[in-house]
Chain A
Amino acid sequence: KAGVTQTPRYLIKTRGQQVTLSCSPISGHRSVSWYQQTPGQGLQFLFEYFSETQRNKGNFPGRFSGRQFSNSRSEMNVSTLELGDSALYLCASSQGQGGVKEKLFFGSGTQLSVL
């Protein structure tokens, strides 16, 4: 079974631009969650989707948004990029409906650099 696939692997943008990242979950997984990883802040939860609905959201500004499609694939969007948005963005999928007991399967991430 293929793992979680994130595209693109690397991305370079300039301040003020917007970016869309894509995540394909493991086949059969219906929950997708997103995380930001930086050397300074570590791993931080962005949001989680199940059945095309956002179920949980972390403490990030409204510039960060996401969505999930009927095939469980997910995208996240960051508008008006700032230098501080440079990070590794990780997507994870899980089998169930999400929640504290879910075992997360992570992709390798998209490394975003904002210049």
Chain B
Amino acid sequence: LAKTTQPISMDSYEGQEVNITCSHNNIATNDYITWYQQFPSQGPRFIIQGYKTKVTNEVASLFIPADRKSSTLSLPRVSLSDTAVYYCLVASYNNNDMRFGAGTRLTVKP
């Protein structure tokens, strides 16, 4: 099973680009990588999902190298409202398991 590891916390300033990396060394062939954002007293909210290479949507980009042993969530030009906890999820239904990382607490400062 792919164990997911991500930094506990990160600080940034408004307007900067933030990159959060998740390590998943034992990722299996059929596993997908998804990132979620969670604010206090709310459930996680979907940000982006990918399998390999690069995926971009209106709020973020996801970079996945060829060996897929890690993934990097990129948030362009963060604002104060991006202060939240970000979770990396490796979903492996072949093994009946969905493995969340411990979450990265991002603090954006003015």
- Interface positions of A (Cβ within 8 A of B): 4, 33, 42-45, 56-59, 90, 92, 98-109
Contacts and interface: CB of A to CB of B under 8 A. Distances in A.
B105 to A, nearest CB: 12
25 contacts: A33-B98, A42-B102, A42-B103, A43-B44, A43-B100, A45-B97, A45-B99, A56-B93, A56-B96, A90-B44, A92-B43, A99-B91, A99-B93, A100-B30, A100-B32, A100-B91, A101-B32, A101-B49, A104-B46, A105-B46, A106-B43, A106-B44, A106-B45, A108-B41, A109-B43
A81 B39 CA distance: 28
Given A43-B87, A100-B92, 18 more contacts: A33-B98, A42-B100, A42-B102, A42-B103, A43-B103, A45-B98, A59-B97, A99-B91, A99-B93, A100-B30, A101-B32, A103-B46, A103-B49, A105-B46, A106-B43, A106-B44, A108-B42, A109-B43
A16 B47 CA distance: 39
Interface of B: 30-32, 34, 36, 41-46, 49, 87, 91-93, 96-103
Contacts of B91: 99-102
Given A43-B87, A100-B32, A57 B96 contact: yes
B55 to A, nearest CB: 12
A33 B31 CA distance: 18
B57 to A, nearest CB: 11
Contacts, number: 58
Nearest to B30: A100
Nearest to A57: B96
Nearest to A40: B102
A109 B40 CA distance: 11
A103 B102 CA distance: 19
